[in-house]
Amino acid sequence: MTRIISLDVLTNHQHKDFLCEESPCDSSEVQLTKGKTMSFLEKLSQLFSSSSNDEAAHWVYLRCSKCGEKLRTRVNLYNDLSIEYDEGGKAANYICRKTVVGSQGCFQRLEVVLKFDSKRKLFERDISGGSFIEQEEYFGDEP
């Protein structure tokens, strides 16, 4: 017997459009119907897109010391960080190293090192080849 669920149920088995009698459904027995609020492709798109309010993101704003270009880079707090261990072999902090190159033709490499605590909060940063700037400066009209 094939059970039918709407696409709206893929992430929430308690949804009102849930047509299966049992929960959770076995994916081999599921036939999908059109969802009322969001298509399958829209849900798939949301999985792979990032929003500006993304809690897993830490944005870093930079200025090239050679040409003055303003740059930014995104650090994914769950995928881009490497664990730093203390002398006892216990996980102490996280570190992220990024190399950023602008698009205005000077090809200056900005080497960024970011250190995060065990709760993934930034506590130290270092840069060579440029300087850190604030988000407002990046989006503003300043040179």
Are 25 and 12 in contact by the 8 Å Cβ rule? The answer is no
Per-residue model confidence (pLDDT) at position 10 = 42
pLDDT at 140: 87
Is residue 39 pLDDT above 90, yes or no? no
Q: Answer whether 95's CB lies under 8 Å from 115's CB.
A: yes
Across the range 48-71, mean pLDDT stands at: 83
Mean pLDDT of 11-15: 41
The residues near 51 (Cβ < 8 Å, ≥ 6 apart) are none
Would you give the distance in Å from CA 118 to the centre of its chain?
18
pLDDT confidence band for 21 (50 / 70 / 90): very low
**So where are the chain's domains?**
3-48, 57-139
Contact, 135 vs 59, CB < 8 A?
yes
Determine the pLDDT at residue 3. Answer: 45
**What pLDDT shows up at residue 44?**
63
* pLDDT value for 49: 59
Report residue 12's pLDDT band, with 50, 70 and 90 as the boundaries.
Answer: very low
Query: What is the residue-averaged pLDDT of the chain?
Result: 76
Phi/psi of residue 34, nearest 5 degrees: -65, 135
User: Per-residue pLDDT for 37 more than 70?
Assistant: no
Check residues 141 and 3 and name the one with the higher pLDDT.
141
Q: Measuring CA to CA, which residue among 75, 71, 122, 117 is closest to residue 94?
A: 117
Residue 43 pLDDT class (50, 70, 90 cuts) = low
82 close to 94: Cβ distance less than 8 angstroms: yes
Token duo for residue 45:
């798109």
Average pLDDT of the residues in 137-143? 77
